[in-house]
Structure 1
Amino acid sequence: MKVLLADDHELVRDTICAFLQNEKDMSISVAADFPDAADKMTTAGPFDLVLLDYSMPGMDGLEGLKKAIDLNFRSPVAIISGTIDRPTAEEALALGAAGFLPKTIAAKSLIHAIRFMAAGEQYAPIQFLTEVEEQSTHPLAEKLTDRELQVLEGLVKGQSNKEIARELALQEVTIKLHVKTLCRKLDAKNRTQAAIIAKEEGLF
């Protein structure tokens, strides 16, 4: 099995090669950047599997993946990365990548994944693709309490204090206090301006 590993970090290349060289049926070639990898695919390819570091020099992200797939005569090409996010990994798979390997992958799993991809299957860690990503909090939302956000949403909808109070099962006087507080926090002169600020900032 011919494998080409392209990564600009020498330590990563050496570490992965050390794992793979114990496999008697694997022949490992290395490249330090995308142009070097492209040259090797042209002169010594096709490889049974090409592993490309997503952020190495010359890679140009997913453009490098597409070029490599063609250069390797449509034989399996996979992405390895320590920083790639889930949407990018999913896009790579949709473009025809044989798989995605995080650099944190265990040695035994790495070998299994390489054999899996070289056999024509698509690989990606289940945990990586299914874990819930943390949602970033809107800057305006960080200034307000959950209750103030609920009241502000009512203002954006054009509801009166009485309507908001009924919807949230609170006293109308309590809503008035929340309106006053959230206006101060948003530097709004009144409830109308607070609603405008929330709309313009895309909070709701």
Structure 2
Amino acid sequence: MPNILLADDHDLVRDTIAAYLRTVEEFNVLTAPDLGGALELMAGIDSIDLLILDYNMPGMNGLDGLVQAREAHPVAKVAIMSGVANRDVANAAMDRGAHGFIPKSLTADTLVNAIKFILAGERYIPFDFGSNDPREKTSGEFANLSAREMQTLEKLCLGLSNKEIARDLDIQEVTVKLHVKNLLSKLGVSNRTQAALFAKERHLF
């Protein structure tokens, strides 16, 4: 059971998210009201798999708190959560070693998916968060994908490799690579993880 520590100075937000995560998934969720409390709690626990830090809470001092947490507990994955930070802050957080950036505007289902991706070793940031790219503003439109590209996207959502997709669809692996390349371009995303997130967040499959 993954150990998650959620640090946020807003009691209602912290307690509501923690209660939801405990209900929908087999997460062991601990909470803290600030960075100092989180680091103190982590010092007395054998293992925290994911530390989620609110960007604006006491002790953070911008992203300095992220760096401090990473240095104190280099094994734990750390994500930044915020309801006000922009894309530049998100990118800066990732550059400083965050394993994910989680906007508070995410839906509950997407929040859970984001946490799962981070725990699985992926780096998470919503690809269309704060974007000015017009391709990314037309999210949810899959009409320009071919039937085979849709099948490929469905397999990506299941976490299958190109070789596994080729076997399932009875086509050559090089053909799968072409389908993946084309659907990434059509969806305006940069990798297969983002494509899977795009589809899952819109409940395509």
Q: TM-score, normalised by structure 1?
A: 0.62
Partner of 1:73: 74
Deviation at 1:18, TM superposition (A): 2.2
Letter in 2 for 1:20: L
Q: Contact 1:76–1:98 (CA<8 Å) still a contact in 2?
A: yes
Gaps in structure 2 of 5+ consecutive residues: 134-205
CA distance in 2, matches of 1:51, 1:131: 27
Deviation at 1:73, TM superposition (A): 2.8
State how many pairs are aligned.
133
Deviation at 1:70, TM superposition (A): 2.1
Partner of 2:93: 92
Can you list the C-alpha shifts for 1:34-54, whole angstroms capped at 9, x where unaligned?
110110111115311000000
Q: CA distance change for structure 1 residues 129 and 45 in 2, over 3 Å: closer, same or farther?
A: farther
Q: CA distance change for structure 1 residues 57 and 45 in 2, over 3 Å: closer, same or farther?
A: farther
Q: Contact 1:6–1:37 (CA<8 Å) still a contact in 2?
A: yes
Partner of 2:102: 101
Structure 1 stretches of 4+ moved >6 Å: none
Q: CA distance change for structure 1 residues 25 and 8 in 2, over 3 Å: closer, same or farther?
A: same
Q: TM-score, normalised by structure 2?
A: 0.61
Can you list the C-alpha shifts for 1:156-194, whole angstroms capped at 9, x where unaligned?
xxxxxxxxxxxxxxxxxxxxxxxxxxxxxxxxxxxxxxx
Partner of 1:125: 126
Can you list the C-alpha shifts for 1:14-49, whole angstroms capped at 9, x where unaligned?
221122011452100000011101101111153110
Deviation at 1:129, TM superposition (A): 4.9
Pair member with larger Rg: 1
Gaps in structure 1 of 5+ consecutive residues: 133-204
Superposition CA RMSD, Å: 1.7
Q: CA distance change for structure 1 residues 56 and 28 in 2, over 3 Å: closer, same or farther?
A: same
Letter in 1 for 2:94: L
